Structure 1
Amino acid sequence: MAGKINDVQLMQLVEAAIFAADKPLNSDDLQSTVLDGFNVSKKRLADTLARLVQDYAGRGISLSETASGYRFITKPELSDYLARLWPERSPRYSRAVLETLALIAYRQPITRGEIEDIRGVSVSSQIMRTLLDRNWVKVVGHKEVPGRPGLYATTKEFLDYFGLKHLNQLPPLPEFQAISLDLADTVVTTGELH
Structure 2
Amino acid sequence: MKGEEIQAILLGLLYVRGDEGIEVKEAADILETSESEADAQLTNCQAYVETRVPGLQIHKAADKYRLVTDKTIAPYLAKLTESPVRSKLSQAALETLAIIAYNQPIGRAEIDDIRGVKSEKAIQTLANKKLISEAGRAASIGRPILYQTTVHFLEAFHVTSLEELPPLSEDATEESALEAEQFFQSLEGET
Fold match (TM-score > 0.5): no
Bigger relative CO (Cα 8 Å, ≥ 6 apart)? 1
User: Normalising by the residue count of structure 2, what TM-score does the alignment of the two structures yield?
Assistant: 0.44
TM-score when normalising by structure 1: 0.43
Higher helix share: 2
